[in-house]
Structure 1
Amino acid sequence: MKRRRHAMRWLLALLLSTTLIAPGLADSDHDRARRARDAGQVMPLPAILERVAQDYPGRVVEVELEDEDDRWIYEIKLVQPGGRLLKLEVDATDARILKARGKQREREDH
């Protein structure tokens, strides 16, 4: 019985430590991105997408905001009319397109 209580205490301590520590680690990138936006270092996503749509129309399927070498970059994946998948890297400070890569989705003929 004593051994079981010790095991339960250890398990409880482990669970508490991971629930207290893990959220702080998981939110760190999100919090940094939010602080950058609030400080005016990053344009809001709707403004970025509006500018991107002017030159690259399509349906956005994924967006990531990353800090690469002290530079905030939006990585945007979109599907253009006709099915082309396009991957864009966009400067988050001014919506400048840094890189555009795309490929045509294969279609099945019926």
Structure 2
Amino acid sequence: MFKRFRTCASGALVAAALAAGPGYAGDGHDHDRARQALEAGEILPLRTILDHVERDYPGQIMEVELEQKGERWIYEVKVLRTGGALVKLKFDGRTGHVLGAGERNIK
């Protein structure tokens, strides 16, 4: 459990660094590819995605991932809502459009 949290937290920090711009020096191949995608305009900054999440799905952001599936980049964000529901959101990395949303009660 702790290892997964640490991995998720590390991913969120990397994603936040990507949103900060080209000053970030990634230390892994995946991080470098994501940074290059941001610099090339292939993906939106994480801050843009998080603004959307905070506006439309208020709660505590638990996990953020950026994945490349084929030619498409996908941001996946998990949010713990006040009532105890865990919402899993998928966004198109280029446009910011919601690709899918799922919710489950964890209480």
TM-score, length-scaled by structure 2: 0.71
How many pairs were matched up?
81
Q: Which residue of 2 aligns with 1:38?
A: 39
Unaligned runs of 5+ in 2: 1-26
Offset from partner CA, 1:31-86 (integer Å, 9 cap, x none): 10000001111111111110122221111111010001210000111101211101
When the two chains are superposed, the root-mean-square deviation of aligned CA atoms in Å is: 1.2
The answer to which of 34-43 and 53-62 deviates more is 53-62
Q: Which residue of 2 aligns with 1:103?
A: 104
The whole-number CA distance in structure 2 between the counterparts of 1:59 and 1:95 is: 20
For the residue of structure 2 that corresponds to 1:76, the secondary structure is strand
The whole-number CA distance in structure 1 between the counterparts of 2:71 and 2:53 is: 22
Offset from partner CA, 1:8-44 (integer Å, 9 cap, x none): xxxxxxxxxxxxxxxxxx7111110000001111111
TM-score, length-scaled by structure 1: 0.69
Deviation above 6 Å: which 4+ runs of structure 1?
none
Cα contact 1:52–1:95 (8 A) shared by 2:
no
Q: Highest relative contact order (Cα 8 Å, sep 6+), 1 or 2?
A: 2
The whole-number CA distance in structure 1 between the counterparts of 2:94 and 2:61 is: 20
Q: Which structure shows the bigger proportion of residues in helix conformation?
A: 1
Give the share of equivalent positions with the same residue, in percent: 46
**Higher Cα radius of gyration:** 1
For the residue of structure 2 that corresponds to 1:94, the secondary structure is coil
Q: Which residues in structure 2 correspond to 1:1-110 (within 5 Å)? A: 27-106=28-107
| Paired letter, 2:39 | D
Unaligned runs of 5+ in 1: 1-25
For the residue of structure 2 that corresponds to 1:52, the secondary structure is helix
